[in-house]
Structure 1
Amino acid sequence: MIMVGGVEGFFLFFNWMDPTLKLLVFLILVLANICPIKSDFRHCEKVVKNWAFSSLQERVKEDNEHTLRDLLFFLHVPRTGGRTFLKRLYSNAQECPRSYDKLRFDPRKQECRLLATHDDYSMMSKLPREKTSVVTILRNPVDRIFSTYEFSIEVAARFLVHPNLTSATKMVGRLRPGATGVSTLDIWPWKYLVPWMREDLFARRDARKLMGSIDIKRNDPYNMEEMVIPLQEYINDPRAHELIHNGETFQVAGLTNNSYFVESHEVRRCVQKHKILGEHVLEVAKKRLDDMLYVGLTEDHRESATMFANVVGAQVISQALTENSSMEGAGNSKSVTEQGSSHSESEPDNDDHQDSNADHNADETGSTEDLKEKKETDRSRVSEVVTEQIRSLNHLDLELYKYAQEIFAKQHKHVVEKLTDDLESMFNNPDGITMWKFLWLAMCIVFLALVFLFVNARRRMSKVKI
């Protein structure tokens, strides 16, 4: 008699069983598989709900939510833009040192007024909450995914000048220790995404060399698998799930893999595994947007710039004037204009601190509108299946973006009402228009005009961050 063990023996034994006994064994196996799933869901539900409750309890509501505090934290979601406006308002001396590095520093020991970083909201645990205002800019999630894909490939492609991946990696290792500026490879999430794309580009280039001459004819530039990872493969990769999808919600909530919160990894894992639990994270993210000084939209670029000037810019100028007037000796102070025009040579004035050598002149790239139109044309060739999959994978971001649009509309209404009230109060005052009121009004008008001109000039001449 031959003894059969393992799985094969079990199935032979199963076939000899009575039908009733077979059904009983089947139900036991099903329940054995379901129980761990239910147990994990209960665990995750408890973890996420406890985190959400704790996060909502620690909210700090300002007496006047439209008042700028001592420190401005720009929660910079990657590929949304907006950093340029801040650089026009704050001098290099006022910006917290090397903000875009992943540094575990204590900003309370620094004499800085601006913290611009890709860190998530958990950074607030390192800041004096009662003295910190937060601003951010959100972008249509589908466009942000496209832009993230394009930028990570663009930066990785710069390494193709090297003969192979080993040579490129060694060169980076030799250059970075002596670098004085902030490298894209030091910044979250690019320090993860760029090496991934760099390895992929070299692997595909090596494959093409082995295959010889290839005639590539594709209508969809996002599906050129001989050259680069296709968009659909990119968005389904585990690294995209970890770093990109629902990135705006996780960053505003403070739950990225770059978070300071100890429980962030487990909460994020639970939400990614059990989609229904994302509602609790979304609720926290919405409340944090409510508490922010300003929420802008990438798509409404001009109006966002004007609103930023009204909500934030005017208060920055007011603070600077107050400080300058209280200082002894004019030689130790800078004018607002001097502060706004200064730039760090080690930090290129662009969206993600990419290498300044990679910037193109207007003559080389054409106008902003031309490039934007080309990008939109290329993206329109992507199949609806892929686009719909991006929407599904970023369902939390889509909801948060809709909420941000509502906040943006309220901000706009508030700014218009305040400006109207100020003008009415000024002209209806029986004392008339004082010299200070006139100067303040003139200064605001000039500042808004400069912002408007700057935005238009930048849209025409600078490299586009689409």
Structure 2
Amino acid sequence: MRQKGHIFDGFVILVFLLSVSTITKATEGKDGFKQCEHIVKQWASSSLDLEVKNDKHVLQNLLFFLHVPRTGGRTYFHCFLKKLYASSLECPRSYDKLRIDPRKPKCRLLVTHDDYSMMNKLHKDETSVVTILRNPIDRVFSAYEFSVEVAARFLVHPNLTSATKMSGRLRSKNTISTLDIWPWKYLVPWMREDLFARREAREQNGHSVVTSTNPYDTKEMVMPLHEYINNPIARDIIHNGATFQVAGLTNNSYLTEAHDVRHCVLKYQSLGDYVLKVAKKRLDDMLYVGLTENHKESATMFANVVGTQAISQFTGSTSHGDHTAKNSSEQGSSLLESDFDTTYHHSNSTYQKPNQISAADQGEATKENMTAGKLMDAYESCISNLRKTQSERRVNSLKKIDPANFTKEGRRQVSEALLQEMTSLNHLDVELYKYAQTIFANQHKRMLVNKVVTNQLDSGFDDSYRAFSWEAICIAVSVVFVALFAVLFVTAKRRTSKLKL
């Protein structure tokens, strides 16, 4: 009986301890949520209080292109912005974070993966922000594919150690490797290590040939997509990445509170609504918001909204000069494709007001009496060449991990369940993208209205000019007739006077 009593007492104590532990955890959970809610609310409140004082539809002295990865921003950089802004006007080493004091900007163009927190280091009243968003599911696909593509380029090396050493030697003074740029400085090394580990496993198992019908689930060759999206690294960087970047809360943020806010939102999903609200406000305040899927319309709008204003800022400031800026821009483009992996060219620059821009500092477009239409023609030609080069690099890289050959057709083999999971993991980005579509539609309407007004003004001017011309001709003819009549009258009078004498 005593033994049964001791067992019963032990059981009671165990139940008591479990109850206390459960209550403690519940209390800590409530306190933890309240603390996180306070942190997130405080950040959101201070962020929403920041009003844009200038006219958001007017291009300011500094253009900040907030480049969300895998949205097509690099083509805009090379095929639009490099034609509008000379390399000497680009912010130095933008993608590597500014290596100058950004509170005293000495540049006119900032293109970077840095998030919106960069605005805290810039003159807000002299800065216009533009960005491009993409369908969240397509962006996750693209981020996965690009991580694999860049990492696969290192498979020419016999081992990971050799590949790591080579990546260090690739970095030169005037270029910066993809491995230095957020978010690829986290994603590519992670994928590179995984690719080498799987290659070693194949060699040890004697599997020299891998066959698969689904390129997104070839685990012997590359990390399957379903593993990728559920990895903590992807959850921290990829999922809802556009929302966190526009809100200024990436793990690359300049804000001291960014880590705590992001940690709380990742822990308590409901707090993401505060971040989404801030991100929407950021989009509202931007000069231009493009959509990757609406490629033609987005490019046309960029040329009309941003391009025409950039051209007008430079046109007339100085006389036409030589082609120094053009040559410098072309050198930057060639450097992009010359390295082992993707590199970005950065130039030194000094900040100048529009009326202080020298002829050599004018972009290529402003030296050729460029219009929005001509700029679009130049863009189409440029993007065709850029896509060809990128496609060749992609094909050569993916050959090393065949049959993981990513294509649009291959994406259709991904199960509906996995697509739903990707959608759920990116619920904030899904909502932000819907909001961006509304902004885009409104931008498009405003652009069409402005075109109609401009055409009417031009037409009115032409009609007035034509009316003025006909009126002037009529007056001139009348004056001639009157003058001729006066001359004839005076001559006739003189003849009459002579006859009388």
TM-score bracket for the superposition, by shorter chain length: 0.7 to 0.9
C-alpha contact 1:426 1:433 (8 A) present in aligned 2? no
Amino acid of the structure 1 residue aligned with 2:421:
Q
C-alpha contact 1:89 1:339 (8 A) present in aligned 2? no
Alignment of 1:87-166 (within 5 A): 87-166=82-161
Structure 2 counterpart of 1:254:
248
Deviation of residue 301 (structure 1)? 0.7
1:399 pairs with one of 428, 431, 438:
431
2:64 pairs with one of 55, 62, 73:
73
- Relative to the length of structure 1, the TM-score reads 0.80
Deviations 1:236-290 (A, max 9, x none): 1111111111000000000000000000000000000000000000000000000
- Aligned partners of 2:254 and 2:227: how far apart in 1? 30
Amino acid of the structure 2 residue aligned with 1:404:
A
Deviation of residue 32 (structure 1)? 1.4
Alpha-carbon distance change, 433 to 390 in structure 1, aligned in 2, over 3 angstroms: farther
2:191 pairs with one of 197, 215, 220:
197
1:48 pairs with one of 35, 40, 64:
40
1:324 pairs with one of 315, 318, 323:
318
Deviation of residue 100 (structure 1)? 1.3
Alpha-carbon distance change, 340 to 401 in structure 1, aligned in 2, over 3 angstroms: farther
Deviation of residue 89 (structure 1)? 1.6
C-alpha contact 1:100 1:118 (8 A) present in aligned 2? yes
C-alpha contact 2:92 2:99 (8 A) present in aligned 1? no
Deviation of residue 214 (structure 1)? 5.2
- Aligned partners of 1:363 and 1:53: how far apart in 2? 45
Structure 2 counterpart of 1:59:
51
- Aligned partners of 2:307 and 2:387: how far apart in 1? 27
- Aligned partners of 2:419 and 2:328: how far apart in 1? 40
Q: Which has the larger radius of gyration?
A: 2
Alpha-carbon distance change, 44 to 155 in structure 1, aligned in 2, over 3 angstroms: same
Alpha-carbon distance change, 23 to 165 in structure 1, aligned in 2, over 3 angstroms: closer
Alpha-carbon distance change, 168 to 340 in structure 1, aligned in 2, over 3 angstroms: closer
Instruction: Report % sequence identity.
Output: 56
Alpha-carbon distance change, 180 to 341 in structure 1, aligned in 2, over 3 angstroms: closer
Deviation of residue 313 (structure 1)? 0.2
Deviation of residue 349 (structure 1)? 7.3
Deviations 1:219-248 (A, max 9, x none): 211011100111110111111111111000
Alpha-carbon distance change, 310 to 343 in structure 1, aligned in 2, over 3 angstroms: farther
Deviations 1:168-223 (A, max 9, x none): 112223333x4431211111111111100110000000000000035533221101
Deviation of residue 90 (structure 1)? 1.3
Deviation of residue 422 (structure 1)? 1.3
Deviates more, 1:316-325 or 1:161-170: 316-325
Deviations 1:122-162 (A, max 9, x none): 00011111100000000000000000000011111111111
- Aligned partners of 1:245 and 1:34: how far apart in 2? 28
Aligned residues: 406
C-alpha contact 1:141 1:401 (8 A) present in aligned 2? yes
Q: In structure 1, list runs of 5 or more residues that go unmatched.
A: 4-10, 368-372, 435-466
Alpha-carbon distance change, 29 to 98 in structure 1, aligned in 2, over 3 angstroms: closer
Alpha-carbon distance change, 257 to 361 in structure 1, aligned in 2, over 3 angstroms: closer
C-alpha contact 1:102 1:188 (8 A) present in aligned 2? no
C-alpha contact 2:66 2:113 (8 A) present in aligned 1? yes
SS in 2 for 1:323: coil
Q: Does 1:35 align with 2:67?
A: no
Amino acid of the structure 2 residue aligned with 1:220:
N
Deviates more, 1:77-86 or 1:35-44: 77-86
- Aligned partners of 1:428 and 1:89: how far apart in 2? 31
- Aligned partners of 1:52 and 1:206: how far apart in 2? 48
Structure 1 counterpart of 2:285:
291
2:220 pairs with one of 221, 226, 244:
226
- Aligned partners of 1:48 and 1:308: how far apart in 2? 34
Deviation of residue 104 (structure 1)? 4.5
- Relative to the length of structure 2, the TM-score reads 0.75
2:342 pairs with one of 328, 332, 354:
354
Deviation of residue 109 (structure 1)? 4.0
Deviation of residue 427 (structure 1)? 1.7
Amino acid of the structure 2 residue aligned with 1:297:
L
- Aligned partners of 2:448 and 2:391: how far apart in 1? 38
- Aligned partners of 2:447 and 2:264: how far apart in 1? 40
Structure 1 counterpart of 2:232:
238
SS in 1 for 2:281: helix
Q: In structure 2, list runs of 5 or more residues that go unmatched.
A: 345-385, 396-404, 467-501
- Aligned partners of 2:463 and 2:11: how far apart in 1? 103
- Aligned partners of 1:270 and 1:76: how far apart in 2? 25
Deviation of residue 321 (structure 1)? 0.5
- Aligned partners of 1:366 and 1:184: how far apart in 2? 15
Alpha-carbon distance change, 404 to 359 in structure 1, aligned in 2, over 3 angstroms: closer
